[in-house]
Chains A and B, each alone.
Chain A
Amino acid sequence: MKKTFFIFLALLLPSVATAHGPSPQKVTETITIKAPPAKVWAVIGDFNSMPKWHPAVKSSKVESKGGNTFRLLTLKDGGTIYERLKEKNDADMRLKYEIIEGVLPVSDYYAVLSVKPGANANESTVEWMGRFYRKYKLNPPIPAGQDDESALKAINGIFKPGLANLKKVVESGK
């Protein structure tokens, strides 16, 4: 009886320990690039340009529907992400977009990618920030791979290598 009870507790505890409420998650990543902001913006300001600088993106296809701009990203592992451009601001060098659907374990995902002048001349600071919830938004227990940690891991896994490669691409002048 006692043993059964402890097994029951052991089964119960992990889900309680990882129970998360409806808190939005944040990932921000910045990188300094040795190039003027306009040159960086020329690369990332094009909503269709991700395959040129992001190592995980194989192809991008932009389409316009009902006054909105969307892109379908196909990743190198075959997964796809369908996104809507919310705003392109050339004066502030800023893109805002959201995920409509895709392979990432997130929901209500919204991101901003922007370029600002860096600390020194001919330097830029690129900032990429995302706000999102985990994929599973209902009551715990949360299915494996749909919790906050999985969501954060996925987005960190896109932002970090993405910006690192962007730096390489821009600084090598390709």
Chain B
Amino acid sequence: MSGPAFAYITNQGSNSVSVLELNSGQVVAEIPVGNKPVGVAIASKAKRAFITNVESGNVSVISTEGNKVLKHIPAGTSPVGIATKADGSRIFVADWFNNRVLIIDTILGSQIQSIAISKAPAGLILSRDERTLYVANRDSNDIAFLDTTTGAILGRTPVGTHPFGLALSPDGSRLYSVNVWSDNVSVIDTSTRQVIATIKVGDHPYCATLNADGSRLYVSNTQADTLSVIDTSNYATIATVDVGATPEGVGFSSTLNQIYVASWMENKVTVVDASTNKVLKHIPTGKESRAFGSFILENR
């Protein structure tokens, strides 16, 4: 009934990626990558995981079949956020210090375009049709909408203070921006690019994800050490779950109906049952787990 599902967790403190097999809850591989890995993007069907190494200025390309690094692609000075096309042919990388988004051809291993964006681009996510890239600009407090074909900036939407992580509803209609300093999440209608709601969450929120039908939003609160569970129909917080300290990346497995939260402080991933909002277990990872981005691999 449940197919294979894996989580690719970046470990800033051990320069590695822990691969968790989610059915068993076991770490099946720890893959050495570049310096201070942060971001992760998965192209499940293409069997690729892309990892940003913020202090080596490159992206590690991992084959998810053998869990081996195939190559490193140069990616600016300080790559943080990353998104990939579903077929793994192109990746989009936020070059934090240079205030740019890089578009990279992963087959050629070269940069196609470098686009000036706003200050300190962080989280990236692609629209469902892959025509628009959403960029959270942490230090200019806005979300930029970038045309992935032309590289043109289609618009900018002001959000809360210090937007970092992003999440997109399964139907692509709602974009959620997690705002670290204002302790809230901005809900954006992707067709009008307007903020339609602001949801209060916990202290210093970082990342978010949604469940399979988009009815629940999960937000990590790094300084409250909790996960906020939000009903997206009325934006009410229906649970606040204690998770591993300094929770950063959040992922959801449709296969297992579970949420995975990377704990930077405690070097582990907390597994939460999405039907009960209770912690099931903690899985030890490498040091300083971040898992910034879409880190779940499953065939759905």
Contact = CB atoms under 8 A, between A and B. Distances in A.
B265 A21 contact: no
B36 A21 contact: yes
A22 B54 contact: yes
A20 B78 CA distance: 8
Contacts of B264: 24, 26, 131
Contacts of A86: 203, 223
B263 to A, nearest CB: 12
B246 A131 contact: yes
Given A26-B13, A110-B223, A112-B245, A20 B97 contact: no
B96 A22 contact: yes
B219 interface: no
B265 A129 contact: yes
Interface in A125-166: 129, 131, 138-140
A19 interface: yes
B38 interface: yes
25 contacts: A20-B36, A21-B36, A21-B55, A21-B78, A21-B96, A21-B97, A22-B54, A22-B96, A22-B97, A22-B120, A23-B12, A23-B36, A23-B54, A24-B12, A24-B264, A26-B264, A26-B288, A86-B223, A110-B204, A110-B223, A112-B245, A129-B245, A131-B246, A138-B97, A139-B77
B126 interface: no
A96 interface: yes
Q: Is the contact region of chain B dominated by helix, strand, or loop, or is it mixed?
A: loop
B82 interface: no
| Interface range for B | 20 to 34
Contacts of A19: 55, 77
Interface in B58-96: 77-78, 80, 96
Nearest to B38: A23
Query: Which of A22, A28, A86, A110 neighbours the largest number of chain B CB atoms within 10 Å of its CB?
Result: A22
Interface of A: 19-24, 26, 28, 86, 96, 110, 112, 129, 131, 138-140
Interface in B82-120: 96-98, 120
Nearest to A22: B96
B97 A139 contact: yes
Contacts of B54: 21-23
A22 B223 contact: no
A19 B57 CA distance: 10
Nearest to A129: B265
B265 A20 contact: no
Contacts of A138: 97
A121 B134 CA distance: 54
A22 to B, nearest CB: 6
B97 A131 contact: no
A26 B14 CA distance: 13
Contacts of B12: 23-24
Given A86-B203, A131-B265, A138-B97, A21 B80 contact: yes
Given A131-B246, A138-B97, A26 B203 contact: no
Interface in B230-272: 245-246, 264-265
A21 B96 CA distance: 8
Contacts of B98: 139
Nearest to A110: B223
A132 B38 CA distance: 16
Given A110-B223, A131-B265, A138-B97, A23 B245 contact: no
